[in-house]
Structure 1
Amino acid sequence: MAMTMTQKILAAHCGRESISAGELILADLDLVLGNDITSPVAIKEFAKLGMDRVFDKNKVTMVMDHFVPNKDIKAAEQCKMCRDFCGEKDITHFYDVGEMGIEHALLPEKGLVTAGNVVIGADSHTCTYGALGAFSTGVGSTDMACGMATGKSWFKVPSAIKFDLTGNIRKYVSGKDVILHIIGRIGVDGALYRSMEFKGEGLSSLTMADRFCIANMAIEAGAKNGIFEVDDKTLDYIREHGGAKPVIYKADSNAKYDDVINIDLSTIEPTVAFPHLPGNTKVFSEIGNVKIDQVVIGSCTNGRLEDLITAAEIMKGRKAAKNVRVIIIPATQRVYLEAMEMGLLRTFIEFGAVVSTPTCGPCLGGYMGILAAGERAVTTTNRNFVGRMGHTESEVYLASPATAAASAVTGRITSPWEVAEI
């Protein structure tokens, strides 16, 4: 039976030669992830199972990243619960203040995910690791608890949409613009419970940061997962970050897809998602004078070194627009250090920005950048729902690091092509 990439990975992990869309399977897990918000619930459910140990201390990880450093007593107590659990269970990969980073940037950086893996995480953006040719998806905290206990999880095998990429991406256009274009095209439920499979000669023009960003936001189109065909860039990344030996799965030439969508990357323009859905996208010929109050560059979507380099290139020698707050959040400690050594932090500070320790804080309206009523933010995060970053009467506009940086310069939503030399 012909299968997609995702179906081949799942078949291998449930010990079968073939599976088909719609089947229920029990698959072995290579990694189970939780964070400081979702793990405490999973820990309580794990205790109800009466287990005294996790299935494999090397295949469970917890990353303290949402409200860390702790913003209040409740956040501190949640982290303490995770810290105590991981100490008791001798969890190898526990990441706390000083070593942590935003989970979906940190795990690939640490080499904890490789091509061919099956990964679940109690966080919806766990689908990020599809950039490495892995099947990864978000689950609830109860599923996380069962995964920690048994090393297995139930899945309904997803059908797939193939995205055939051609052409070369242009200067100051990135993976964020690509995925916003796609979500704007198919809608926030356009890939509901399906695998978004990316392949084609256009892959060569996408960096790994682009791919992580695109896979990260597959969930914003309703997808079960996003996954990229493995190429030399993928293998180089895995090798450079000390990942385990990759297992490469390619879709059969006659694999069945619900749809095939052709994307010419050379035609993609800087794109912005207006409130209050990631699918409410516009290009700059459709955007008027939209003044802003805040810019956030960071998150599991766009806080990697490449993102910061792009932002700094636009900000260098300039000043932030009056009355615009600019917050820069490197995704990991390693990214922070590399940005410092490259002089990027000086550029940001001289521009008028603040630079934060790695945290998810502002993305989910937790802390480090909450919006008041009537305020507007351009942000490189992944969701712009009502009240997502603060007051229900605030507005969130999703954009690439280049667009966010350009907007910080002018004080209004601005194309990087307008302010930068290309």
Structure 2
Amino acid sequence: MADQSIPQARTPVTDESVSSQASSGISRRALLGTAGATGLVLGAAGGAVGYAAAPSEATPLTSLGADEVMFHGKHQPGILQGLQARGHVLAFDLAAGVGRKEAAALLRRWSETARRLMAGEAAASDDTGVARDAGPSSLTITFGFGHSFFARTGLEKQRPVALDPLPDFSSDHLDKARSNGDLWVQIGANDALVAFHALRAIQKDAGSAARVRWQMNGFNRSPGATAHPMTARNLMGQIDGTRNPKPTESDFDRRIFVPSSGEPSWMANGSYAVVRRIRMLLDDWERLSGKEQEDVIGRRKADGAPLSGGTETTGMDLEKTDAEGSLVVPINAHARISRPDQNGGAAMLRRPFSYHDGIDADGTPDAGLLFICWQADPLRGFVTVQRKLDRGDALSKFIRHEASGLFAVPGGAAEGEYVGQALLEG
């Protein structure tokens, strides 16, 4: 999303020729060339606005591939970074007989693998070589714990109250087999092979300790596809994410992250992720006229500006009427109902992926949004807004919630530590 901060980037070092390095079996970071003047020119929000690649025998690595996000830090990666072009989200269930000790060993393995891959290095063992020619490509790997994890590891007393199951909503048609799970992993990158490489490494690291419960694939517009950085569009063609909270806002941390003095203590600087697979009924949606679509959303399709006028970032005038005295922004418009000031200030940081999982036998596309949102308290964030939407959002007839999960995502790991260490060893 255009509102989010960009990943921290490092300039890759220049090494010897790719052929001699590849034959020596060194890490994929050592295969990176320099991001020279012929590489992509990045805009202010990290989007590539153009390039001029001179033909050569060994084309330098572009700055898009060189962008690196740090694994260690106050918060886990994959929350504050901008939208990535490719993503995978998946949940694992611990195997029978696996307890706290084995779970700790798994998170230790996963954290080390995430650190290495996000730095552009090969996995510690049995690397597949899929991403050998690529840079880090803004890879992020994020880990979380589901409600069921705590009973399976004897840590019920450490389970946060905020992790209580989400309530039922009228738009729910949830597939239990594709919902929830003991452990959750989010993977994102600006290169599809880098993202897949990470997915495969995480799955292999699970070994006999955990099995995949469900896995979903998503995508966003690639950086550099537009003339200038802009808010993303979803598969309905709407600009999506205009009012996302900004890290520069004074109350951002309070709304998105658990405070360092919060409870439980192991969640300090962490956040809660709500994950929803929302199918868009695109055939029904596309039968609407452009004006009808805009009335459902409450914003202009072309530029995301509110129907009350202005630009994308102009505040919405909820009282403005037309010549006939009707509200310009309909009373049931999605953008009106979901506004924080219409929901007691409830806010969440939305960081979704679109998905397309094929076409049904009747020609209906199985496509929509892998909705992922972050908040310090899901009851005050997602639940508050969704309850309001559930009571009359015009968009509801064009979407269907088909899978759901809520996960506690602890703060980032310090140097030499692994994600969740305070929980599993505290």
Q: TM-score range by the shorter chain?
A: under 0.3
TM-score normalized with structure 2 length: 0.26
More relative contact order, 1 or 2 (CA 8 Å, 6+ apart) = 2
TM-score normalized with structure 1 length: 0.26
More helix by share: 1
